[in-house]
A and B are shown apart, each in its own frame.
Chain A
């Protein structure tokens, strides 16, 4: 075998193995074929394939070892749309076109203008064209244009090489196409699987939304989709509902209500919110908060109606219970108010008679009553007046409970001093009134003034037998909590009774010693409680008493 033959064989087998390696990438295979042709036959090699209709040949790959030539060839090919038509026709007719020496001038008529330009500009001097077949079927052509004068002219061996290359190329193209088709089938299969998966995912979401989700078609308003919450809520399986409309299973009036809202959403092409609507279910009537949304197609026409309904029956019941409780509390308050009114007016009236007519007895019949009789009349009057004082204090207590709490910044020191002002006017007593510390608080001024009147009144009263009385208002912080206190050096009290101090009508001293109704500290307690605070006392008999109180979380002025 000659070297020339050996080299040719090597070229062909190299090309064949290169083709095999490219089977999995169709486009790359076509490039490999062009490159192998260019390499083995020392020219510009191009691959043309028929389109799907098998009418037109289209260049799909081209190669030349010289990049400059390649660029020029690409440009020329772009312009030469009809250039090779006559050549192709000849090639297809003859299976192989072998033109070892070629003169474009001689072929000028056959090449047409653009073909002539291509051949002359490139300097084509020889040509080999072979058909590409896949399993016997013509699929395209492989063309090599020889333009180099520095190599021997094309010969029979070149022709054989071209035929073999074309054979292998056809096989490889066939395989690559099979592979490509199989791959695209796989891609379709995979994307279908993905679509199914996505649908299942969306289905699972819709199915598991805890609110009722339904879809109706826009024309008949019959159900096309319902989720599990809808089945549970309506108490019917979806098979019994799909394809039906509201009139098929709801009371007529109710169905009309729903359908009217459906139409409203579809007509308005916007969301319709229905805060409360009744729906008849197999468990009885339920209340829904429903939102209806039209689903429009590409042209903007509503195709479906999407509805989402939340079962608000329970919260509606809770609301109703709350309303009832509020109403009954308001009723109770009104009753308390009318009771207080009766106490204020009706109980005092007979007391006034008792007192007034006792006095009339004293004045008009004093001489007949005698000393004992007169004394009895005085006692009757005292009791009547004491009972009037009790009633007044009880009314104050009830007013403290009834009035609204309105917090604003108040100066406790000022309030403290103001509470003593009327007491100081009526006496010659000297009492040291001390205010220490920052005493601004956020509290109801009116209520707190009543509390101060009581606490200061007590301190004043229980220091009345002292020469050097001292009453102090102060503040301190206990475990992060602001505490206020009123301290006196009066008669004090036995700590054993401290729990009793704040009860209504509870007294620790005889009336003859210190007058009082026993309602004052109960009133203080109520006022402090209204503020969310606590009140307590410390004391010792003969050594004074200290009353502490807090004003709740919002008591401190920021």
Chain B
């Protein structure tokens, strides 16, 4: 397993903790960077603001919530897909919403996957495990 990072875009501290726990339980040991709103996510990925000077390295996958403070997930997705550097970055929408409109818009804006967070923690762990296995192990990453 490579040690390229995972960017988790999540404003809810409980969900953050549970996601980290699920990753650990699934033996996914990549470093996890957390962005707590849309602006922070964009700053991190596009080396802006507080992240202007960080080393030029993109995460292997972005786990993106839709309902976020300041700039919502779909807007983050739209901006990233418009930027040449992040145009093909793997982005998985990980959210509570299964509103048809959100799913359609998410794919329309170029999301790679759309996964609904199950309430049942066992199912959640299973979802995160499969997600990690696929995006961090099976899937051939974009060369940077």
Q: Give A contacts to B, CB under 8 Å.
A: 340-341, 344-346, 348-353, 355-360, 381, 384-385, 388, 399
Q: Once the chains bind, are A345 and B95 in contact (CB under 8 Å)?
A: yes
Cα of A357 to Cα of B96 in the assembled complex, Å = 17
Q: State the Cβ distance, A463 to closest chain B Cβ, in Å.
A: 27
Q: Once the chains bind, are B99 and A344 in contact (CB under 8 Å)?
A: yes
Question: Lowest 6 CB-CB distances: which A-B pairs, in order?
Answer: A388-B119, A353-B14, A356-B18, A356-B121, A359-B121, A345-B96
Q: Give B contacts to A, CB under 8 Å.
A: 12, 14-15, 18, 21, 66-67, 95-100, 117-122, 124
Contacting residue for A349 out of B15, B118, B121, CB 8 A:
B15
Q: State the Cβ distance, A271 to closest chain B Cβ, in Å.
A: 49
**New A-B contacts (19) at CB < 8 Å, excluding given A384-B119, A399-B100:** A344-B98, A345-B97, A346-B67, A349-B14, A349-B96, A352-B14, A352-B117, A352-B119, A352-B124, A353-B14, A353-B15, A353-B18, A356-B14, A356-B121, A357-B14, A357-B18, A358-B121, A360-B121, A381-B120
Contacts A345-B67, A385-B119, A388-B119; A356 near B124 (Cβ below 8 A): yes
20 A-B contact pairs sorted by A residue (CB < 8 Å):
A344-B97, A345-B66, A345-B67, A345-B96, A346-B67, A349-B12, A349-B14, A349-B15, A351-B119, A352-B15, A352-B96, A352-B119, A353-B15, A355-B120, A356-B18, A358-B121, A381-B121, A385-B119, A388-B119, A399-B100
Which residues of the other chain, A, contact B120 by a CB distance below 8 angstroms? 355, 381, 385, 388
| Shortest Cβ distance from B117 into A: residue | A352
| Shortest Cβ distance from B12 into A: residue | A349
Which residues of the other chain, A, contact B96 by a CB distance below 8 angstroms? 344-346, 348-349, 352
Q: State the Cβ distance, A445 to closest chain B Cβ, in Å.
A: 15
Cα of A349 to Cα of B96 in the assembled complex, Å = 7
Which residues of the other chain, A, contact B100 by a CB distance below 8 angstroms? 399
Cα of A313 to Cα of B97 in the assembled complex, Å = 48
Which residues of the other chain, B, contact A344 by a CB distance below 8 angstroms? 96-99
| Shortest Cβ distance from A340 into B: residue | B99
Which residues of the other chain, B, contact A357 by a CB distance below 8 angstroms? 14, 18
Q: Once the chains bind, are B124 and A341 in contact (CB under 8 Å)?
A: no
Which of A344, A350, A357, A358: most chain B Cβ within 10 A?
Answer: A344
Interface residues of A, dominant DSSP: helix
Cα of A417 to Cα of B128 in the assembled complex, Å = 34
Q: State the Cβ distance, A447 to closest chain B Cβ, in Å.
A: 13
Q: Once the chains bind, are B18 and A352 in contact (CB under 8 Å)?
A: yes
Contacting residue for A355 out of B12, B95, B98, B121, CB 8 A:
B121
Which residues of the other chain, A, contact B122 by a CB distance below 8 angstroms? 359
Cα of A346 to Cα of B65 in the assembled complex, Å = 12
Cα of A351 to Cα of B18 in the assembled complex, Å = 12
Contacts A345-B67, A357-B14, A360-B21; A352 near B121 (Cβ below 8 A): yes
Q: State the Cβ distance, A374 to closest chain B Cβ, in Å.
A: 15
Which residues of the other chain, B, contact A348 by a CB distance below 8 angstroms? 96, 117, 119
Which residues of the other chain, A, contact B21 by a CB distance below 8 angstroms? 356, 360
| Shortest Cβ distance from A391 into B: residue | B119
| Shortest Cβ distance from A358 into B: residue | B121
Q: State the Cβ distance, A530 to closest chain B Cβ, in Å.
A: 17
Which of B14, B96, B99: most chain A Cβ within 10 A?
Answer: B96
Cα of A426 to Cα of B12 in the assembled complex, Å = 36
| Shortest Cβ distance from A348 into B: residue | B96
Q: State the Cβ distance, B1 to closest chain A Cβ, in Å.
A: 23
Which residues of the other chain, B, contact A359 by a CB distance below 8 angstroms? 121-122
Cα of A342 to Cα of B67 in the assembled complex, Å = 10
Which of A355, A357, A384: most chain B Cβ within 10 A?
Answer: A355
Cα of A169 to Cα of B41 in the assembled complex, Å = 127
Which residues of the other chain, A, contact B119 by a CB distance below 8 angstroms? 348, 351-352, 355, 384-385, 388
| Shortest Cβ distance from A347 into B: residue | B96
Which residues of the other chain, A, contact B15 by a CB distance below 8 angstroms? 349, 352-353
Q: State the Cβ distance, A478 to closest chain B Cβ, in Å.
A: 36
Which residues of the other chain, B, contact A355 by a CB distance below 8 angstroms? 119-121
Cα of A359 to Cα of B18 in the assembled complex, Å = 10
Which residues of the other chain, B, contact A352 by a CB distance below 8 angstroms? 14-15, 18, 96, 117-119, 121, 124
Which residues of the other chain, B, contact A388 by a CB distance below 8 angstroms? 119-120
| Shortest Cβ distance from B102 into A: residue | A341
| Shortest Cβ distance from B13 into A: residue | A353
Q: State the Cβ distance, B65 to closest chain A Cβ, in Å.
A: 9
Which residues of the other chain, B, contact A399 by a CB distance below 8 angstroms? 100
| Shortest Cβ distance from A362 into B: residue | B121
